[in-house]
């Protein structure tokens, strides 16, 4: 890959939401990511695929600076959000994590009521207007396709929800603070097929208003929901293209071998 030129761009600059330039990342002395150049387009779903240990989750954690919570790491390169270098010391990491929300592999609701799970982010950001908070909670639950299922039990403990409902609750919690980008790290890995379908339908609906990046081991899921796909292998971005091209006409033999199940 040519480090001087980002070749993973498919449209004009005004549609690029996140741009990464020559990203290298180390845990101690172990190099985990190697010269990652990638453009993530606004209001599209970008899937990141590849075998376990290839750097997928590490990559998306960089996008909202969650790597800073891990000791003994080194990051070089640039990450831009709407043209702003988010790695600059002058940029507030808390604000970046508000603008770029994350939903994890395993649902992680707080041991609080459904309502308090959603209102938590608003409250810690200093919002005290109860009417505003209530409106935002309802809006977020509706946007996460959960409102009809929980509207009569908002003050029940969120841990009583099913796994699929808990994951949609976590999505609603992320939506409450009005992010611009949503990162999904294997969001359906622990869910049954029906819950998986609901999450996928939700992602397709959300991309009207949000830019979405999803890490998935499920290649069928990537093919179903994403507009663009990046294939990672051993810390490198092997190929990035439209999802249709990645799955129907990959340019790199390694991509074809992975897609066809020869390894991984």
Task: Please give the pLDDT value at position 9.
Answer: 55
CA atoms of 45 and 213, how far apart (whole Å) = 6
Please, which pLDDT band fits residue 264 given cuts at 50, 70 and 90? confident
Percentage of the chain surpassing pLDDT 90? 91
CA 61 to chain centre: 8
Please, which pLDDT band fits residue 2 given cuts at 50, 70 and 90? very low
Given a contact cutoff of 8 angstroms between Cβ atoms, the answer to whether 40 and 17 are in contact is: yes
pLDDT at 201 over 70: yes
Higher-confidence residue of 190 and 77: namely 77
CA distances from residue 46 to 229, 240, 247 in whole angstroms, order as listed: 6, 10, 14
CA distances from residue 220 to 55, 59, 204 in whole angstroms, order as listed: 20, 21, 15
Collect all residues with Cβ–Cβ distance below 8 Å to 104 and sequence separation of at least 6: 170, 185, 187
Task: Please give the pLDDT value at position 3.
Answer: 39
Edge-to-edge strand ranges of the sheet holding 181-185: 100-103, 181-185, 211-215, 45-49, 228-233, 236-242
CA atoms of 147 and 215, how far apart (whole Å) = 26
Element (H, E) at 48: strand 45-49
**Concatenated DSSP letters of 133-198:** HHHHHHHHHHHTT-HHHHTT-TTSBGGGS-HHHHHHHHHHHHHTT--SEEEEESTTTTS-HHHHHH
**Mean pLDDT of all residues in 144-165:** 96
CA atoms of 196 and 192, how far apart (whole Å) = 6
Closest to 19 (Cα-Cα) out of 75, 78, 68? 78
Task: Tell me the pLDDT tens digit for each residue of 239-251.
Answer: 999 999 999 999 9
Collect all residues with Cβ–Cβ distance below 8 Å to 30 and sequence separation of at least 6: none
Closest to 79 (Cα-Cα) out of 52, 100, 101, 98? 100
Task: Please give the pLDDT value at position 8.
Answer: 61
In the chain, the domains with their CATH numbers are 13-110+183-259 (3.40.50.300)
**Helix intervals (H) in the chain:** 56-63, 93-99, 114-124, 130-143, 147-150, 163-175, 193-206, 219-225, 243-248, 253-259
């Amino acid at each position: 890959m040519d480090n001087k030129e980002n070749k993973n761009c498919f449209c004009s600059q005004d549609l690029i939401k996140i741009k990464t330039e020559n990203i290298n990342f180390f845990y101690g002395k172990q190099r985990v990511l190697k010269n990652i150049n990638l453009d993530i387009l606004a209001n599209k779903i970008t899937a990141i695929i590849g075998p376990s240990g290839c750097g997928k989750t590490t990559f998306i954690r960089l996008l909202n600076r969650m790597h800073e919570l891990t000791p003994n790491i080194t990051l070089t390169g640039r990450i831009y959000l709407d043209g702003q270098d988010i790695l600059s010391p002058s940029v507030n990491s808390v604000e970046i994590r508000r603008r770029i929300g994350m939903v994890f592999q395993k649902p992680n609701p707080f041991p609080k009521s459904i309502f308090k799970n959603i209102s938590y982010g608003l409250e810690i950001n200093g919002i005290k207007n109860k009417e505003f908070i209530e409106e935002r909670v309802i809006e977020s639950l509706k946007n996460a396709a959960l409102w009809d299922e929980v509207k009569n039990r908002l003050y029940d403990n969120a841990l009583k929800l099913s796994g699929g409902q808990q994951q949609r609750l976590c999505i609603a919690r992320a939506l409450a603070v009005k992010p611009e980008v949503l990162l999904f790290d294997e969001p359906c890995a622990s869910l049954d097929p029906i819950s998986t379908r609901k999450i996928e339908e939700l992602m397709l609906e959300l991309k009207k208003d949000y830019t979405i990046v999803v890490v998935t081991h499920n290649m069928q899921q990537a093919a179903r929901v994403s507009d663009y796909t990046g294939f990672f292998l051993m810390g490198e971005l092997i190929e990035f293209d439209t999802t249709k091209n990645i799955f129907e006409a990959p340019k790199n033999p390694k991509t074809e071998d992975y897609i066809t199940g020869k390894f991984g």
